[in-house]
């Protein structure tokens, strides 16, 4: 079941998180090497507000460029992208983002499922996804698609999660290639 990371070539890393995930992200980001050969795309459940506090928070933690995703924005390596509030984020084959304001999925927009699923169709077995703390089941369906396409799935060790439900669901569905502590995430990402 477990996928061998050695033969894995990463074209994109998507990190999905809900309640309890922000602190982990803020602690992890500063220690990520800035020479990544792939983009990191964050899909986080967040309150729908026009302010850009979250974007600024992330930008303060890294020397990599941090961008909130806009319609048709090109996807570049070594860049951090953040899903905007109230939009689903999809990936197009030509390697740019597109947005969608269709119905909420798992009471969420952005929905982690939507981006995992869409990215799996584009990046196939070159996609890595991390699912962090959260109180909803969002992300699990998407991870099934990622696994089907041969992607690499990492789930936060539920006992370390403030809200273990989300990672627990993924583990129960047997989707995780690796179950990691928050401080193991850093070396994992840096080794991709």
Partner 1 sequence: MISEEDIDLLLNDVAELYGYDFTLYSKASLTRRLNRLYALDFFPSFAEFRYKVRNDKDYLQRFIEEITVNVTEMFRDPTFYQTLRTEILPMLATNPYIKIWHAGCSTGEEVFSMSILLKELNLLHKSLIYATDINPKVLEKMASGIFPLSSIKQYSENYIASGGTKDFSSYYTAKYDKAIFDSELIKKIVHSTHNLVSDGSFNEFNLILCRNVLIYFDKPLQDRVFTLFDASLAKLGYLCLGTKETLNFSAINVNYQQHKKDKIWRKIK
| Positions in the binding site for partner 1 (CB under 8 A) | 50, 69-72, 84, 87, 90-93, 98-103, 114, 117-118, 121
Q: Which of 21, 118, 133, 138 is catalytic?
A: 138
Q: Are 91 and 97 in contact (CB under 8 A)?
A: yes
Instruction: Give which of 133, 136, 137, 150 is closest to 3, Cα–Cα.
Output: 150
Give the separation between CA 110 and CA 30, rounded to whole angstroms. Answer: 25
177 carries an active-site annotation: no
60 carries an active-site annotation: no
Tell me the closest approach of the beta carbon of residue 99 to partner 1, in angstroms. Answer: 5
Q: What is the DSSP letter of 29?
A: G
Q: Which of 18, 21, 120, 133 is catalytic?
A: 18
Q: In terms of CB distance, is 13 or 90 closer to partner 1? A: 90
- The bridge status of strand 88-92 relative to strand 96-100 is antiparallel
Q: Which of 45, 88, 108, 111 is catalytic?
A: 45
100 carries an active-site annotation: no
Tell me the closest approach of the beta carbon of residue 111 to partner 1, in angstroms. Answer: 11
Q: In terms of CB distance, is 58 or 176 closer to partner 1? A: 58
Tell me the closest approach of the beta carbon of residue 72 to partner 1, in angstroms. Answer: 6
Tell me the closest approach of the beta carbon of residue 69 to partner 1, in angstroms. Answer: 7
Q: In terms of CB distance, is 26 or 53 closer to partner 1? A: 53
Q: In terms of CB distance, is 68 or 162 closer to partner 1? A: 68
DSSP class per residue in 86-124: T-EEEEETTTEEEEE----BTTBSS-HHHHHHHHHHHHG
Token reading at 122: 């584009």
Among left, alpha and beta (phi > 0; psi -120 to 50; other), residue 118 is alpha
Active site residues: 18, 45, 138
């Amino acid at each position: 079941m477990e996928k061998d990371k050695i033969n894995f070539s990463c074209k994109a890393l998507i990190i999905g998180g809900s309640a309890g995930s922000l602190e982990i992200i803020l602690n992890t980001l500063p220690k990520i090497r800035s020479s990544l050969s792939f983009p990191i795309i964050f899909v986080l459940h967040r309150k729908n507000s026009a302010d850009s506090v979250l974007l600024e928070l992330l930008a303060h933690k890294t020397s990599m460029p941090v961008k909130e995703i806009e319609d048709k924005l090109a996807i570049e390596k070594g860049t951090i992208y953040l899903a905007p509030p109230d939009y689903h984020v999809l990936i197009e084959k030509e390697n740019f983002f597109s947005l969608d304001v269709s119905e909420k999925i798992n009471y969420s927009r952005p929905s982690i499922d939507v981006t995992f699923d869409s990215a799996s169709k584009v990046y196939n077995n070159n996609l890595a996804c991390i699912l962090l703390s959260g109180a909803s089941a969002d992300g699990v369906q998407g991870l099934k698609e990622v696994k089907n396409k041969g992607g690499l799935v990492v789930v936060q060790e539920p006992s370390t999660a403030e809200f273990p439900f989300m990672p627990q669901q993924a583990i129960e569905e047997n989707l995780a290639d690796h179950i990691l502590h928050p401080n193991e995430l850093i070396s994992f990402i840096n080794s991709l």
